[in-house]
Amino acid sequence: MNFRRRNLVTLLILIAIVANAAPLSVAAHPPDRKAAIDWSNSMVESTMKRFPTAQDLGSWGYAKSLYLYGSYLVWRRTGDKRYLQYLVNWTDSHIDSEGNFYNTDKDGKRSEIRITSLDSMYPGNLVLIVYKETKQPKYKIAAERIRKRFDTYKRTSDGGFWHAESKSREWQLWADGVWMSLPFLIHYGQMFGDSTYANAEATKQMLIYYKHLNDPETGLLWHAYDERGTQAWADPQTHHSGFHWGRAFGWYAMTLIELLEILPKNQPQRSELIAIVNQLAKAFEKYQDPKTGLWYQVVDKGSVQGNWLETSSSSMYSYMMWMGVKRGYLPKHFESVARKGYQGVLSKLTMNADRMTSLVDICEGTNVADLTYYFGRKRAENDFHGLGAFLIMNEQLGTPARKNKPKPMSWTAD
């Protein structure tokens, strides 16, 4: 075989190898290439492929509602009407013509949804969005049903909303609960002229929860508090739980920003909420993993074997600090802490050759318990807790969003 022929054979072999090789994941590309991708758009597209119809998302729930709220933010930026219609379809599949809530099982049988927990209130934010976008009366009626629950909802002796009205959750405050209930309340207030009550109640709840969950030693919050002290996890003296589970106060951190976006500057005790933003930001900076920019599942136990870096809470902290700087609540240097956290979350996100995204190391839904329990929670892939938190963060920190300069969300009915 002559020299020219050998070269031609070699070239053909190399072409065949390249053609049959598995394409590189986006994760293998340099950071600047990864940052240029519209990850929000790609994530929503991927999720719609995994769940082709909104009904495929299933029953009423806060985690999928968090994701759908994130997808609404993407719709506001991109104008892709499919994203809004998907959200409308899911919401509509749970509300009848008289504004009653229901789930539908696989056999088509309907069952009533009872609003007896804070978790069950969070999808109400989607009800408000759909009313804003469609003006159909049934959505206003449905939103009013959730709003009226606040009037009779069970409380601790100092007025804090129980996490749920069930026997297993009575007398308990969970840090998660503020995100599940208070954004809906203040959004409803702004939309329907109920802000005097809603703003005062939301501020009151945040400070009650803070009083019982604050840990001055770390600057973090405990996961939960049991007024009666009967739960196995409750400290005999303080009645709070024993560990700093990351997503618990990630919810609280995002709620601070959500409330401050709407509360008027002369709202009594607004400055106390801003002080808590500063306290949490300092703690987040202290406990951020210096190598990855992420935060641990149990935030202050990074050196303990079995702990792991968790994605959803890292998105929540990064979002709070970014917005805190942007709104003037925090010193400028926290912007770099937020950016480092954002880059850490991007390290957990990949896209395959079919342009399907995958976000990993998301803690599944979690109760209050001991360290072994928190460490042992499933490290889920594409869980809605993580997808929703990422979209909320990315619509502020992501390159396409930053170029678009996202405007504050309006919750008026106009």
Q: What is the pLDDT of residues 369-414, one digit of tens each?
A: 999 999 999 999 999 999 999 999 999 999 877 777 787 788 998 8
Tokens representing residue 237 in the block: 């003296």
**Per-residue pLDDT at 21:** 41
**Per-residue pLDDT at 392:** 98
Domain count, the chain: 1
Tokens representing residue 83 in the block: 């994203």
Mean pLDDT, residues 163-178 taken together: 98
How many Å apart are CA 235 and CA 257, to the nearest integer?
A: 30
User: With the CA atoms of 195, 179, 315 and 413 taken in that order, what torsion angle do they form, in degrees rounded to the nearest 10?
Assistant: -40
Is the residue at 3 inside a domain?
no
CATH number reported for the structural domain that contains residue 343 in this entry: 1.50.10.10
Is the residue at 317 inside a domain?
yes
How many Å apart are CA 128 and CA 204, to the nearest integer?
A: 23
262-283 pLDDT per residue, tens = 999 999 999 999 999 999 999 9
Is the residue at 2 inside a domain?
no
Is the residue at 179 inside a domain?
yes
Is the residue at 12 inside a domain?
no
**Per-residue pLDDT at 12:** 46
How many Å apart are CA 324 and CA 257, to the nearest integer?
A: 7
Mean pLDDT, residues 10-21 taken together: 45
Is the residue at 193 inside a domain?
yes
**What is the length of the chain?**
414
List C-alpha distances in Å: 108 to 55, 102, 103, 111, 255.
12, 11, 9, 10, 36
Radius of gyration, CA atoms only, the chain: 23
| Residue 386 domain boundaries | 31-404
**Per-residue pLDDT at 17:** 42
pTM (two decimals): 0.92
Q: How confident is the model at residue 33 (pLDDT cuts 50, 70, 90)?
A: low
197-255 pLDDT per residue, tens = 999 999 999 999 999 999 999 999 999 999 999 999 999 999 999 999 999 999 999 99
Is the residue at 388 inside a domain?
yes
Is the residue at 329 inside a domain?
yes
